[in-house]
């Protein structure tokens, strides 16, 4: 579905060749029930699911783009916007809620000047509230995910959160 | 000697990897060539992590050290590994040891003891013996009969008898059948499945293979949450090792039975805990429930007979086949047999995973094992069953933990999350929290669930904001009844439970909010204000930290808050070193 009109906004002509995604589709395009797996791999590669990526997956699998969009928006894991280098997954599970996760969120939002789902202007952090990370005894908890892997931080306090974020920002500078 | 460092997700979160690195470095520096460093999963005492076990050359545990941050490593290496005398000050206390000793471990039998990345350690504990016995010497019906004798019921929430599901899937005709493991532990506040996946993945593989044999499946699928990256990594490693040893794959143990597993990572949807929604998700669709019947046992994954159990259920299976169904049934009560793992969290002193025979009173779990409430505050309620469950109040603390007794309170055993709450937890806010969760997680298929949870949430939000109206409680009850009746799956049918149980036991708190504009627990910001009490010494710290300059007062004089300016951010309370800020 490559669009010939270079001023068109349909996304079919973004010029990406999806070289990294192609082998994933070679493997899964014709395996029934693989859509979620394909979307997960696409997100791993590009960090999010762009309209172009969705169109490309549609073209290769024969699944309608609207349906792919429907699946992508149903699950909490999928993002349709690019994210920062470090994804803050702030746990809002029950144990974290009881132990003050709202205060931790407040601290992150204040310190980075973003809200849930937003990315800082410098592109270093994105904040995402998540349902439960399963480290309930260490509540409140957050996980920070980057290209280097993920790290979990427990028994958070407002000050501790700020120190962790400052530390990451200093390393990025 | 062997130094074993607990490295489940919670251990790692408290710094276990840094501790492990410190040991490695120091042991190399000192040239201690006879010391082996190893890792294990979660032992359950999360509040003591990082935990380090030191074993002697004879394999006996010499000491268990707790809260071992890297700065304590040198002392252990110097005194224990070199000096051969354990460091008593750093070792686990007798009281904490009681946390472990009061438990009966079936599901968690290997967690925190073996290295989950080495199949030989699982085999040394008798692993894969049960599946060998099953595949080489038992019939499908004999396996199902043994599970029936054990009385094992699904540990994921509904508590349905496991043998019955296996038998139904076995009896339904079809050449292709599927054994599915629900490892999408979505209930916020429960983490026993994560612990088994990370700490003892082979027990799940063995349990699923036994179940697969019993129902006649040749393929198993494990649906794991994407939020559990370490679990997926260890599971993949374990499956690979099992294949190499011939415990998975074609013609197991030289018989005609073949069985293999694959992992499917979930993408984050609570509703996928519902069997038919999970199946839809496995097929790459939106995870929306389907009408039952047909049940998955008849028409499940790709319309083939399918059985779904959760991780904890499967982890019981090898133990039952190895020790006999009667041994399992010997634990617990008449109708709730065996043990159950609970995730203790919230305002509890010793949070973690505990496994106890069913039928133990709540009090024994919360006070006996959990050590009581943080800062010795008053116990108010325990939330069980997550968003589908309810709050059990302090006066029912003697309730035995069985499926039937917990159901009677209006809560459910669910997957075993126990969130303990103290006097500072507002019960209306708790109900609001859960409705916010279910409202977001409702798949949208049924009107009553989709719109009804939203309406209930709006009412709860206005009550906690101090804008509650006369009749709101009755309106909540009416909506609750309709959502229960008008929803197709368990999510909607149980979504009102947190509201109904809090109204049942804490109606006075709702009334306080609505009619007296007071939050009983002094937690809802709209209904409290801050004042400076007599403990104030005039240090000026609060005034300096106030973002709106609402606090005034001279140095060494008692300060005061201008209520008209105050935005109730709580910064003064956080920063006061003298506990002088009081909530009214």
Q: Is B324 on the interface with A (CB under 8 A)?
A: no
CATH 3.10.20.600 residue window(s) in chain B: 339-422
- CB interface of B with A, residues 301-320, below 8 Å: 302
Q: Which of A29, A36, A44, A57 to probe by mutation at the B interface, max B CB count within 10 Å? A: A36
Q: Residues B390-403: pLDDT tens digits?
A: 999 999 999 999 99
CATH 3.40.50.11540, chain B: domain bounds: 119-329
pLDDT digits (tens, 9 = 90+) for A94-128: 889 988 899 999 999 999 999 999 999 999 999 99
Look up the CATH number of domain B529-583. Answer: 3.30.70.20
Q: How does B155-169 read in b/e, with b if 16+ C-beta sit within 10 Å?
A: bbbbbeebbebbbbb
pLDDT of A7 reads 47
**B285 interface with A at CB cutoff 8 Å:** yes
* Fold (topology level) of B339-422: Ubiquitin-like (UB roll) (3.10.20)
Domain with CATH 1.20.1440.230 in chain B: 427-515
- Within 8 A by CB and 6+ apart from B98, the residues are B369
The pLDDT of residue A14 is 52
Given a cut of 50, the residues of chain B with pLDDT beneath it are: none
| CATH architecture, domain B2-99 | 3-Layer(aba) Sandwich (3.40)
d(CA B266, nearest CA chain A) in Å: 8
Written as six digits, the tokens of A5 are 């009109």
Which residue of chain B is at minimal alpha-carbon distance from A44? B226
Question: Distance between CA A24 and CA A36 in Å, rounded?
Answer: 12
Q: Do B284 and A89 touch (CB under 8 A)?
A: no
pLDDT for B323: 97
Q: Which CATH class is domain B427-515?
A: mainly alpha
Q: What values do phi and psi take at A26, rounded to 5?
A: -55, -40
Domains and CATH numbers, chain A: 1-81 (1.10.10.1590), 86-172 (3.40.30.10)
Q: What SS3 string covers chain A?
A: CCCCCCCCCCCCCCCCCCCCCHHHHHHHCCCCCCHHHHHHHHHHHHCCCCHHHHHHHHHHHCCCHHHHHHHHHHCCCCCCCCCCCEEEEEECCHHHHHCCHHHHHHHHHHHHCCCCCCECCCCCEEEEEECCCCCHHHCCCEEEEECCEEEEECCCCHHHHHHHHHHHHHHHC
Beta-bridge partners for B560? B552
Of the candidates B14, B189, B194, the beta carbon closest to that of A93 is on B189
What is the DSSP secondary-structure string of B525-559? Answer: GGG--EEE-TT-----HHHHH-TT--EE--TTS--
> Chains A and B: how many Cβ contacts under 8 Å?
141
d(CA A69, CA B473): 39
Mutation site, A107, A135, A143, A164, interface B, largest B CB count within 10 A = A135
Q: Is B266 exposed, middle or buried (0-12, 13-18, 19+ CB in 10 A)?
A: buried
Q: CATH assignment of B119-329? A: 3.40.50.11540
| Chain A residues near residue B265 by CB distance under 8 angstroms | 36-37, 40
From the list A75, A48, A83, A52, the residue with the least C-alpha distance to A131 is: A75
Give B-chain residues touching A79 at CB under 8 angstroms: none
Q: What is the pLDDT of residue A15?
A: 56
Q: Is B188 on the interface with A (CB under 8 A)?
A: yes
Burial of A12 (0-12, 13-18, 19+ CB in 10 A): middle
What whole-number distance in Å separates Cα of residue B501 and Cα of residue B437?
17
Q: Does A83 touch chain B (CB under 8 A)?
A: no
A32 CB neighbours in chain B (<8 A) are 283-284, 302
Is A71 in Cβ contact with B285 (below 8 Å)?
Answer: yes
pLDDT at B571: 86
DSSP B73-85: HHHIIIIIIIT--
Q: At what angle do helices B201-215 and B229-244 cross, to 10 degrees?
A: 60
The reply to whether residue A131 touches residue B12, judged by beta carbons under 8 angstroms, is no
Cβ of A40 and B267 within 8 Å?
yes
The single-letter DSSP state of residue B423 is: T
Alpha-carbon span B456 to A163, nearest angstrom = 38
For residue B291, count other CB atoms closer than 10 A to its CB: 8
Residues of B in contact with A140 (CB under 8 A): none
| Mutation for testing the A interface, residue in B301, B306, B346, B434 having most A CBs under 10 Å | B346
Q: Which residues contact A113 (CB under 8 A, 6 or more apart)?
A: A120
Q: Is the ipTM of this complex over 0.85?
A: yes
CATH code 3.40.30.10 region(s) in chain B: 2-99
| CATH 3.30.70.20 residue spans of chain B | 529-583
């Amino acid at each position: 579905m490559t669009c010939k009109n270079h001023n068109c906004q349909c996304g079919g002509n973004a010029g990406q060749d999806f070289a990294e995604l192609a082998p994933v589709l070679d493997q899964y395009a014709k395996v029934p029930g693989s859509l979620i797996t394909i979307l997960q791999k696409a997100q791993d590669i590009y960090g999010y699911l762009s309209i172009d990526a969705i169109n490309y997956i549609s073209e290769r699998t024969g699944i309608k783009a609207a349906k792919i969009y429907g699946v992508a928006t149903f699950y909490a894991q999928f993002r349709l916007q690019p994210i920062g280098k470090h994804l803050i997954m702030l746990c809002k599970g029950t144990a974290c809620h009881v132990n003050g996760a709202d205060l931790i969120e407040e601290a992150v939002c204040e310190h980075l000047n973003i809200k849930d789902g937003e990315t800082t202007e410098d592109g270093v952090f994105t904040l995402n509230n998540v349902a439960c990370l399963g480290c309930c005894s260490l509540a409140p908890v957050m996980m920070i995910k980057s290209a280097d892997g993920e790290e979990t931080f427990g028994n958070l306090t407002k000050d501790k959160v700020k120190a962790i974020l400052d530390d990451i920002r200093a390393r990025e500078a | 000697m062997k130094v074993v460092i607990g490295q489940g997700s919670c251990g790692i979160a408290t710094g276990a990897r840094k501790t492990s690195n410190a040991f490695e470095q120091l042991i190399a520096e000192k040239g201690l060539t006879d010391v082996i460093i190893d890792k294990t999963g979660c032992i359950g005492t999360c509040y003591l992590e990082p935990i380090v076990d030191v074993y002697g050359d004879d394999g006996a545990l010499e000491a268990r050290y707790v809260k071992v941050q890297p700065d304590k490593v040198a002392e252990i290496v110097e005194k224990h590994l070199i000096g051969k005398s354990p460091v008593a000050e750093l070792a686990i206390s007798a009281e904490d040891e009681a946390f472990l000793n009061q438990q009966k471990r079936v599901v968690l039998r290997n967690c925190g003891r073996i290295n989950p990345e080495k199949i030989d350690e699982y085999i040394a504990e008798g692993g894969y013996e049960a599946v060998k016995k099953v595949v080489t010497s038992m019939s499908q019906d004999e396996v199902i009969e043994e599970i029936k004798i054990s009385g094992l019921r699904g540990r994921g929430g509904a508590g349905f008898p496991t043998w019955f599901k296996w038998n139904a899937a076995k009896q339904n005709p079809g050449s292709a059948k599927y054994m599915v493991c629900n490892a999408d532990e979505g209930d916020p506040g429960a983490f026993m499945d994560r612990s088994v996946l990370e700490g003892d993945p082979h027990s799940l593989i063995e349990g699923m293979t036994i179940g697969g044999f019993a129902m006649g499946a040749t393929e198993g699928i494990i649906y794991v949450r994407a939020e559990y990256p370490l679990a997926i990594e260890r599971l993949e490693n374990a499956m690979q090792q099992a294949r190499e040893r011939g415990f998975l794959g074609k013609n197991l143990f030289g018989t005609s039975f073949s069985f293999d597993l694959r992992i499917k990572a979930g993408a984050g949807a609570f509703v996928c805990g519902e069997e038919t929604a999970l199946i839809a998700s496995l097929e790459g669709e939106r995870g929306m429930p389907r009408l039952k019947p047909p049940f998955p046992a008849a028409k499940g994954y790709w319309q083939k007979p399918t059985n779904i159990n959760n991780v904890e259920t499967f982890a019981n299976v090898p133990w039952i086949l190895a020790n006999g169904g009667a041994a399992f049934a010997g634990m617990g009560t008449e109708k709730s047999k065996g043990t159950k793992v609970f995730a203790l969290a919230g305002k509890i002193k010793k949070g973690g995973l505990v496994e106890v025979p069913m039928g133990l009173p709540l009090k024994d779990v919360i006070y006996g094992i959990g050590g009581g409430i943080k800062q010795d505050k008053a116990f108010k309620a325990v939330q069980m069953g997550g968003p589908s469950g309810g709050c059990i109040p302090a006066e029912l603390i003697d309730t035995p933990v069985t499926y039937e007794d917990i159901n009677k309170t209006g809560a459910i055993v669910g997957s075993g999350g126990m969130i303990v709450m103290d006097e500072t937890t507002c019960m209306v806010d708790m109900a609001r929290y859960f409705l916010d969760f279910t409202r977001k997680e409702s798949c949208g298929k049924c009107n009553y669930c989709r719109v009804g949870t939203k309406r209930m949430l709006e009412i709860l939000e206005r009550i906690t904001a101090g804008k509650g109206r006369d009749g709101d409680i009755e309106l909540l009850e009416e909506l609750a009844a309709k959502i229960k009746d008008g929803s197709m799956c368990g999510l909607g049918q149980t979504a009102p439970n947190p509201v109904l149980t809090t109204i049942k036991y804490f109606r006075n708190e709702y009334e306080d909010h609505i009619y007296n504009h007071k939050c009983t627990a002094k937690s809802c910001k709209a209904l409290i204000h801050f004042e400076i009490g007599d403990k104030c010494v005039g240090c000026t710290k609060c005034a300096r930290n106030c973002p709106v300059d609402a606090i005034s007062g001279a140095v060494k004089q008692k300060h005061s808050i201008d209520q008209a300016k105050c935005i109730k951010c709580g910064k003064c309370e956080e920063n006061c070193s003298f506990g002088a800020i009081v909530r009214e």
